[in-house]
Structure 1
């Protein structure tokens, strides 16, 4: 059954900014349907000009680029509430690919309707621009992490950010969140080898800072992990939901 925007479970999360009644009514018209996919499904392909845009309603995925030698570079991870496909909507084609890591349910929007949003609903269009700006900021923060933090700090920083993000959308239970990615995905995103990433995760586990096993991430000591990463466990800034 298709979830109506007026009953969207993500709207219950305090992480997302409240919508006005007018915004909800617009989203009811803007949403074209839903798409359910299994793990390992390529949702968007680099170089494609998909006519559709998506918001992650359930599940997790990865954004990645394929290098000339065929290797895959993970850019970042996708979680409930994330918007996908804006590049194709603005630039005409995707500059990276998107793949599901778990079963996913996606809210589907027609790309052609984005321009109507800018003309008729500038408040929602501003939200879309805000989301793009936050994505740029996050990539800058990731670049700083890769360039200035050592391997242990990189992994600690990433685990903190991921856990915090999943907790914000209500997926935490007893300090643990589901995390369906491979260690190789994390290694790729942080510019580390798989062996180095595995050893670093073992050190964090042995130091009782964090544990990632059997698809579950548990933060055992948030402050100590943040200190180790050289960051602060600050609350996430509330964001719009498209």
Structure 2
């Protein structure tokens, strides 16, 4: 079993994507953290309708957040990347309103839900960061709604691939023009409100246009600028964000 990562040595914390933490904040997070959990691909980390005793920050690996309807249909509401927080709704509202399922092997830092009040009462800057994380999730869901309502199928697929590409590049996961892509085409289809056949056709068309391709569980970017234009996304860098 690998040794747990000390907050002082966290490789994510030093990425330019994340807001730097002060020495006092790092010391608090070392006390706040209760351990680490491993989750093999396919594990349901958080189950819709159930309570969770912990909040978790993804240290490595990826997952999908999804809502399951009563008739079994699934809506993927977001993709989960290193640095993301899992279990916030369960931690504050008593039960999870969605599920989180690992699509690759994952390691997660765990924080006891019972200590969340200590964070708010003794670490106002960290509490603000938690609020900021919730606001970012709300903003992304708003962008997703706009995508489902206003972008056509080609634009939706381009939007999702650009968003994933930019996030993983910001995390330092780009290698030779490609990033890891453990998601299935069904995951993309369920996120974008498309059939898997339609999703596959749009991906093939984008590949034939020389823009992007998915091969060997890698997302290969050939023309980020053109794909961003199709997705109707500007070229600004993502804002830096806090990490818990």
What does residue 171 of structure 1 align with?
Answer: 173
**Conservation of the 8 A alpha-carbon contact between 1:61 and 1:101:** yes
What does residue 19 of structure 1 align with?
Answer: 21
User: What's the TM-score, normalizing by structure 2?
Assistant: 0.98
1:135-150 → structure 2 map (5 Å cutoff): 135-150=137-152
In 1: Cα distance, 2:97 partner to 2:111 partner: 19
Local SS of the residue matching 1:186: helix
In 2: Cα distance, 1:73 partner to 1:226 partner: 24
Local SS of the residue matching 1:212: strand
Give 1:233 deviation, angstroms.
Answer: 2.4
The number of equivalent residue pairs is 242
Q: Select 2:161's aligned residue among 159, 162, 169.
A: 159
CA RMSD of aligned residues (A): 0.7
Please list every run of 5 or more consecutive structure 2 residues that lacks an aligned counterpart in the other structure. none
In 2: Cα distance, 1:185 partner to 1:213 partner: 16
What does residue 215 of structure 1 align with?
Answer: 217
Give 1:11 deviation, angstroms.
Answer: 1.4
1:1-242 → structure 2 map (5 Å cutoff): 1-242=3-244
**Conservation of the 8 A alpha-carbon contact between 1:57 and 1:107:** yes
Local SS of the residue matching 2:17: coil
In 2: Cα distance, 1:99 partner to 1:222 partner: 28
In 1: Cα distance, 2:18 partner to 2:233 partner: 23
**Conservation of the 8 A alpha-carbon contact between 1:37 and 1:104:** yes
In 1: Cα distance, 2:38 partner to 2:20 partner: 26
Deviations 1:33-86 (A, max 9, x none): 000110100111111111111000000001111111112211111000000101
